[in-house]
Structure 1
Amino acid sequence: MSKIERVEVFVASPGRTFVTLRITTSDGVTGLGDATLNGRELAVASYLRDHLVPLLIGKDPARIEDMWQYLYRGAYWRGGPVTMTAISAVDTALWDIKGKVAGLPVYQLLGGRSRDGVMVYAHASGTDTASLIDDVERFLGLGYKAVRAQAAVPDVGGTYGVRKGKVYEPAATSLPDEQPWDTEAYLRFAPTYLEAVRERCGFGFHLLHDVHHRLTPIEAARFGKQVEDCRLFWMEDPTPAENQEAFRLIRQHTTTPVAVGEVLTSIWDVQRLITEQLIDYVRTSVVHAGGITHLRRIFDLAALYQVRTGSHGATDLSPVTLAAAVHLDTAVPNFGIQEYMAHADETAEVFRSGVTFADGMLHASEEPGLGVEYDEKAAERFPYQARYLPVARRLDGSVHDW
């Protein structure tokens, strides 16, 4: 019987910082998992090296469900982003191994195709309305069928979602960047640029917008109602999800669809949101919600309540997570959309992925497993760099949700 023989944890910063897990079996088969928790990478690396790796040696790599239960239910301290990210890495790596042993891409192990491709959305941004519209048109010209739109609020100075270079990178390389925030200015401005995008670019594509936890429930309700004529595909994270009753208030005032979940890590975190139909899209991800095994469980629950999937997929998630997400997206019946941001060129030097983009959709690799390779030697050229996500402060100096 094949056993887990070696488990390695790699931390490198090719464009962004990634934590990668590689499991090798006694038969010489390897599997990759992503263990990246943006801004807290070393916490997960330590959790893996110091606590989980010793538990894996000698175990049967084929027993994926049992391993998930062993790592989650077998521990007294359960849940949380660090624990769930570490479990996710192990789970994803074991699915990669199982696919290679079976000689099949992972989506085939999950039941086969439910669709030919996975629709994704791009991230358009601008320093003002005009530059945002130019960016939306650029992505539409590249074949995207869905585009998220964000623009800098005038005279405020720091706005989430505005790309500074080729790749959107909010994490700084020193201490956290403290960015100003003005809710009233945002509420005045954001509807105007979304309306301008629709006026210029029309309704022949899906338009998305990320509020990024910045509003109170009643502010989010007012915003959602104000932009109803824009027919948003969704407004994302309109208010922090800790108070889930808040989404009932939003529902009472607007028909704009709601997407929530990128910072939530388990089926218990989203159970009420789904079963009470307080959201339309669940955004939990492979890397932070327990891997393929647990994310499939979340998606199956969502399917019972006509909630669709819309997994987080920013560039702080490595190509391993993107590949795993595309395999799962390809298989599940209630897929909605997949977030997609092209990685930096340096990232592609370390991770070689078989995921392809065409006609606004991603397509899973047909190689056995996930179809991703990790170049350990290339990674050595990109040593770890500490990075922090920004902190938002209101104009009076108090801390706000980022």
Structure 2
Amino acid sequence: MKIVDARVIISSPGRTFVTLKIITSDGGVTGVGDATLNGRELAVAAYLSEHVIPTLIGRDPARIEDTWQYLYKGAYWRRGPVTMTAIAAVDTALWDIKGKVAGLPVYQLLGGRSREGVTVYGHASAETTEEVLTEVARYVDRGYKAVRVQTGVPGMASTYGVSPDERYEPADAAIPTENVWSTPRYLTNVPTVFARVRDEFGPDLRLLHDVHHRLTPIEAARLGKSLEPYALTWIEDPVPAELQEGFRLIRQHTTTPIAVGEVFNSIWDCETLIREQLVDYIRATVVHAGGITHLRRIFDLAALHHVRSGSHGATDLSPVCMAAALHLDIAIPNFGLQEYMGFPPEADDVFPHSWHYADGYLHPGEDPGLGVDINEQEAARYPYKPASLPINRLTDGTLHDW
């Protein structure tokens, strides 16, 4: 069997997704991989079309590891989100093909089930505490066992993570919009929100909160300390992760668990954090961390150091990536949680899939391969629509981490 063709499909059914489809010489067996990089979608599409696809034609699709190394080492300019997202698309599509040829779902090729279902968390967001209590209750009624809680900050016109739609999509304009931020107001407000949520829903519901890289280490330590009475499962991305020594300072001051990694794209981004046990959950994901092959390496390293998975699963991951994530989630021994925001109906039409939600869990399905495909006729109904992530400024106008 050889790869005889591959193409990049860009479609915007609710938001923009980039999909790689690989076609083989064996009866038209195909595989799909997600290549979406939020706000930089066309960069990955061009990387694949101009630099990767020509090298794939004639290769044996069964040689997944060799192809991964070929694309990683052969580029010379290693890592980076564009390169690793392109590699992830190829890798995921090849796993899809391998599963179809074997007649097995991909998780069986990864060692089989380690659990019956994948525990997911949803996003409860609202401007006020009273409104967010209603949103949390809505998730509890649907069987969710874990909920991320985000509210508006009093005095701020907008706040990260707050949206009238549960499928919060911050990439909202072709040219980035600007938000305004106040750390003191935020740090004062958050503990009061979680006091109400925990009082309302009791000790069993798993609660999470996304800081979104906005604090300094000592500010993050203060936040973690203030949230200890409410037993959060994690605070996510408390500080920008470029200076990883900052996590040591946070660890010295709070026992609130830490999750990080949605912007990581290789094992080298997480190695120190994992080996020194400075975090509790790694949130790297299939599409941005080099595919199933490389993300499995990250999770295997994490398993040796009491760190669990908590993969990113926002709206900038297509149903193809969600399928790949679920096959990995259900197989690894150190699974923690999987983010799941759902998809609009038009995205489900473009990407028919066998994975499904039931009572707080996602299930990957039993179809051979990933159990997901792209309907190219439906995809063509949703032409590319550019959208950029916002930027963030402090109240005095200083550019701040968004």
TM-score over 0.5 (shorter chain) = yes
- Return the offset for 1:167: 2.4
Counterpart contact for 2:365–2:371, Cα < 8 Å:
yes
Unaligned runs of at least 5 residues, structure 1: none
Aligned mates of 2:371, 2:301 — CA distance in 1:
28
Aligned mates of 2:195, 2:166 — CA distance in 1:
26
Map 1:323-334 onto structure 2 (within 5 A): 323-334=323-334
CA deviation profile, 1:96-135 (whole Å, cap 9, x unmatched): 0000000000000000000000000010001100000110
Map 1:359-374 onto structure 2 (within 5 A): 359-374=359-374
Show the counterpart of 2:384: 384
Amino acid at match of 1:82: V
Counterpart contact for 1:170–1:390, Cα < 8 Å:
yes
SS of residue matched to 1:393:
strand
Which segment drifts farther, 155-164 or 303-312?
A: 155-164
- Return the offset for 1:391: 0.6
Aligned mates of 1:165, 1:74 — CA distance in 2:
42
Aligned mates of 2:202, 2:335 — CA distance in 1:
25
Aligned mates of 1:121, 1:165 — CA distance in 2:
16
Aligned mates of 2:296, 2:75 — CA distance in 1:
22
TM superposition score normalised by structure 2: 0.99
Show the counterpart of 1:350: 350
1:396 aligns with 2:396: yes
Map 1:74-153 onto structure 2 (within 5 A): 74-153=74-153
Kindly tell me the number of residue pairs found equivalent between the two proteins.
Answer: 401
Aligned mates of 1:165, 1:198 — CA distance in 2:
23
Show the counterpart of 2:9: 10
Counterpart contact for 1:285–1:325, Cα < 8 Å:
yes
* C-alpha RMSD over aligned residues: 0.7
Amino acid at match of 1:203: P
Counterpart contact for 1:265–1:289, Cα < 8 Å:
yes
Map 1:165-184 onto structure 2 (within 5 A): 165-184=165-184
CA deviation profile, 1:221-274 (whole Å, cap 9, x unmatched): 000001100100000000000000000000000000000000000001100000
SS of residue matched to 1:87:
helix
Show the counterpart of 2:19: 20
- Return the offset for 1:164: 2.6
Show the counterpart of 1:246: 246
CA deviation profile, 1:285-320 (whole Å, cap 9, x unmatched): 000000000000000000000100000000110000
Unaligned runs of at least 5 residues, structure 2: none
- Return the offset for 1:51: 0.3
Counterpart contact for 1:13–1:382, Cα < 8 Å:
yes
Amino acid at match of 1:5: V
Structure 1 residue ranges (4+ consecutive) displaced by more than 2 angstroms after TM superposition: 164-167
SS of residue matched to 2:357:
strand
CA deviation profile, 1:48-101 (whole Å, cap 9, x unmatched): 000000000000000000000000012210000000000000000000000000
Counterpart contact for 1:173–1:385, Cα < 8 Å:
no
Aligned mates of 2:180, 2:267 — CA distance in 1:
34
Q: Percent identity?
A: 65
SS of residue matched to 1:159:
coil
SS of residue matched to 1:373:
coil
SS of residue matched to 2:330:
helix
- Return the offset for 1:154: 1.1
Aligned mates of 2:363, 2:37 — CA distance in 1:
25
- Return the offset for 1:166: 4.8
SS of residue matched to 2:362:
strand
Aligned mates of 2:191, 2:10 — CA distance in 1:
41
Aligned mates of 1:74, 1:274 — CA distance in 2:
28
